[in-house]
């Protein structure tokens, strides 16, 4: 599989058709440090993304590289993750005293790291395509960005939807930079992953609310079509 993208037309249609900082118990949805990874021109992205492990590496590295460049353009300094950790089931790292849970991925501000249940993410990758990786990892890095910008939210759903928006904007930035290429079916795959990660109800006031399938798709599409500054 080659690095992937998605159709602007389909995302635009989704957008117009319907109009943490501490890891949550179920934030639905190791790689080289982007600061020390391959320099531009030294390795083509098409050489990666052939396996689950390579797609995970690519998604993390390119997303962090995108945010480093975006922060720099704004006169700020992006702080790369301290670590990017795979775990299995109950064996994940705790975050500020909260234990990691199976079938999850999360950003932890205590230690500034992202962790994910590798078996769970691999199952999504195999069942729903590599779009799962390019939704989950940029989403969690969106939380890392929120922490660095000291973003404040009265409702968890707003935090989660902004992270979806950041993920869409970061992905489009990678595409515009020529780091990822589109393949047929990528748009449906990404949107299907977002739909599967949506809340079963529209109980927006819940502490663990992430947004309905339509809301998550809309937020991702907003970032993709209009950029992270609109998030």
Residue written as token pair 């779009």: 131
Inter-residue contact 181 to 4 (CB < 8 Å):
yes
**pLDDT given for residue 182 in this prediction:** 63
Q: Tell whether the torsion through CA atoms of 16, 17, 19 and 24 is positive or negative.
A: negative
Residue 147, pLDDT score: 97
When mean pLDDT is compared across 4-13, 112-121, 180-189, 196-205, the lowest value belongs to: 4-13
pLDDT in tens, 116-133: 999 999 999 999 888 899
213-226 helix and 186-196 helix, angle to the nearest 10 degrees: 140
Is the model's pLDDT at 194 over the cut of 80? yes
Asked if the model's pLDDT at residue 19 lies above 80, the reply is no
pLDDT tier at 172, thresholds 50, 70, 90: very high
Contacts 24+ apart (CB under 8 A), 43-51: 45/2, 45/3, 45/179, 45/180, 45/181, 46/2, 46/3, 46/181, 48/3, 49/1, 49/2, 49/3, 49/4, 49/130, 50/1
Round the CA-based radius of gyration of the chain to a whole number and report it: 16
Question: How confident is the model over 76-117, as pLDDT tens digits?
Answer: 999 999 999 999 998 999 999 999 999 999 999 999 999 999
For range 50-63, the mean pLDDT: 93
Q: Which two tokens stand for residue 183?
A: 């393949």
Measured in whole angstroms, how far is the alpha carbon of residue 104 from the centre of its chain?
13
25 pLDDT band, cuts 50/70/90, is very low
Q: What is the mean pLDDT of residues 30-56?
A: 53
Is it the case that residue 27 has pLDDT exceeding 80?
no
How many percent of the chain have pLDDT more than 90? 61
What are the domain boundaries of the chain? 8-81+121-230
Eight-class DSSP state of 117: E
**Strand intervals (E) in 91-135:** 105-108, 113-117
Distance CA 198, CA 46 (A): 31
Residues 136-144 have a mean pLDDT of 97
């Amino acid at each position: 599989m080659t690095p992937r993208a998605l159709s602007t037309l389909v995302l635009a249609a989704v957008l117009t058709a319907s109009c943490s900082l501490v890891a949550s118990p179920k934030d639905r949805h190791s790689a080289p440090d982007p600061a020390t990874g391959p320099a531009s021109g030294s390795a083509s992205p098409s050489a990666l993304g052939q396996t689950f492990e390579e797609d995970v590496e690519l998604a993390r590295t390119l997303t962090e590289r995108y945010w480093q460049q975006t922060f720099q353009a704004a006169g700020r300094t992006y702080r790369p993750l301290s670590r990017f950790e795979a775990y299995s089931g109950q064996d994940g790292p705790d975050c500020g005293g909260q234990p990691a849970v199976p079938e999850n991925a999360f950003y932890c501000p205590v230690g500034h790291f992202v962790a994910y249940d590798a078996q769970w993410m691999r199952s999504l990758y195999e069942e729903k395509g590599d779009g799962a990786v390019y939704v989950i990892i940029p989403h969690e890095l969106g939380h890392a960005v929120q922490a660095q910008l000291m973003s404040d939210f009265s409702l968890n759903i707003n935090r989660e939807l902004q992270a979806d928006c950041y993920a869409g904007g970061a992905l489009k930035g990678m595409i515009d930079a020529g780091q990822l290429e589109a393949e047929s079916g990528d748009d449906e795959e990404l949107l299907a992953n977002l739909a599967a990660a949506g809340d079963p109800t529209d109980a927006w006031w819940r502490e663990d609310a992430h947004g309905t399938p339509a809301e998550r798709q809309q937020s991702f599409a907003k970032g993709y079509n209009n950029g992270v500054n609109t998030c």
